[in-house]
Amino acid sequence: MIEDHFIEKGSFKDPNGQIYEQNNNVFRKIYPSYFETYKLLKKNGFIERLIKKELLIFHEEISHNEKSIVLKHSKIPFISYPYEWSFNQIKEAALLTLEIQHEAINNGFSLKDASAYNVQFLGTRPIFIDTTSFEIYEEGQPWKAYKQFCEHFIVPLLLMKYRDIHFSKWLIYFLDGIPLMIAKKILPFRSNFNLLTLIHVVLHSKAIKNANKKYFIPTQAIFISKKKMLNIIEHLYESIECLSICRNSKWNKYYLDCPYDSTSRNEKTNFVLQSISNIGNYRVLDIGSNECYFIKNFFNKFNYYVAIDNDPYVINNLFQNIKPITNVLPLVLDITNPSPSVGWANFERKSFLTRINTNNVSLALAIIHHLRITYNIPLTYIAQLFALLSKQLIIEFVPKNDIQVKKLLYNKKDIYNDYNENEFLSIFSKYFNIVDSKKLTNSERIIYNMIRNEKNSNINPNT
């Protein structure tokens, strides 16, 4: 019997299995209802081929009896959700799903579940994680997960492309995908010239509307040959592969305009690298990462690196520019409003703070002035949150005489009397021990290396 605290509650909807974690290992318990399909998947060699092609998460069978089959999976270093992904991450996840469906049809199977939550990222590489998402394919049957695929992937991508890149955040509210009917109302008419919109949103939603009419009774099942099914999947793949966004934000070229000369840039990079040179297996959390300008050439020194920024264009560029690195995960996430716990009873999808945990080596480079002045977060609250997240903290203090702070205070009353170096040190010293610091040449900026004071390690930032 698996104890409740080991069970991954997000898998409760799967009638064929259960995910649980024990001793830092991840297991999948398969129920007898799925035995027949699983045995065919194994006998065919399909699962093994997907794993070999690095399309499906690696697993090994560790027990098998009449009540259950237990698989041990490779562990994903950090679980992320679609509403934290950039445009190209959603696109890559969609293409992976279609590639697997194509492979499945050719091997006599089909995906009965095309949820975006079946995909995770190993750094910048998408990987499918749901072994029990397959069913036996019978020629003529339509793709049961087609509508789900459209609402989880096609609709968010089209809304991000034709309306606003921030539409991915709608996936927080629509965990089962953004409804086609809503997308049809929101997408502009010009998007209809894209066949993805015309066929898979407009005509698809019209067909659903007709099928939902009170007295509608289908006269016969739609027959879709294997060849036609493969053609549909290939069309979807080619159409999604062509999708792109070209716009940038002001933050894409931030480091070209900010006040660092070559000397201070090198000093900042060296200080960060020296401060985290002995972190071992700890995860790096880069808060307000931008495009990881200072250390993007040194990612090989880290075990796993999670880069978060609230600018989706910046994260999209970072994701594209560092591929195919597998130890750096870029995420669109606002530290002032991190992803909450959502779904059934608020446990189906965990909050970012729960997933990221507390023992990170955190970087907070040139962000504290934004948190204090742009978002009005008191220094005490900032220190508490960073202490909750960080076993070690490398933080850059940007004083008021810095040009970037002056820009923030332009046309804004300076009510931030607490925002000075002495107050900063006084507050952060309550939660951290300062190990080292470095004032950058030709700048008033100072970088600190801090270690959390463990007597305050149980801080709750809500109190």
Q: What amino acid occupies position 294? A: F
Q: Is the pTM of this model over 0.85?
A: yes
Q: Regarding predicted confidence, which is higher, 47 or 251?
A: 47
Distance CA 290, CA 104 (A): 38
pLDDT at res. 257: 61
**2 has a pLDDT exceeding 60:** no
Residue 393 CB: number of other CB atoms within 10 A?
27
**181-191: string of b/e by CB count within 10 Å (b at 16+)?**
eebbebbeeeb
Each residue's pLDDT tens digit, 352-361: 999 999 999 9
pLDDT at res. 8: 81
Average pLDDT for 195-208 = 91
pLDDT band at 173 (very low <50, low <70, confident <90, very high): very high
pLDDT band at 1 (very low <50, low <70, confident <90, very high): very low
| Tokens read off for 463 | 């109190």
Average pLDDT for 142-161 = 97
Helices 87-106 + 226-241 axis angle, to 10? 160
Share of the chain above pLDDT 70, in %: 93
Each residue's pLDDT tens digit, 420-446: 999 999 999 999 999 999 999 988 899
pLDDT band at 248 (very low <50, low <70, confident <90, very high): confident
Average pLDDT for 46-56 = 96
Distance CA 314, CA 251 (A): 7
| Tokens read off for 429 | 């010293």
Which of 268-277, 310-319, 443-452 has the least mean pLDDT?
Answer: 268-277
**275 has a pLDDT exceeding 50:** yes
Q: What amino acid occupies position 21? A: E
Mean pLDDT for the chain overall:
91
**171 has a pLDDT exceeding 70:** yes
**261 has a pLDDT exceeding 80:** no
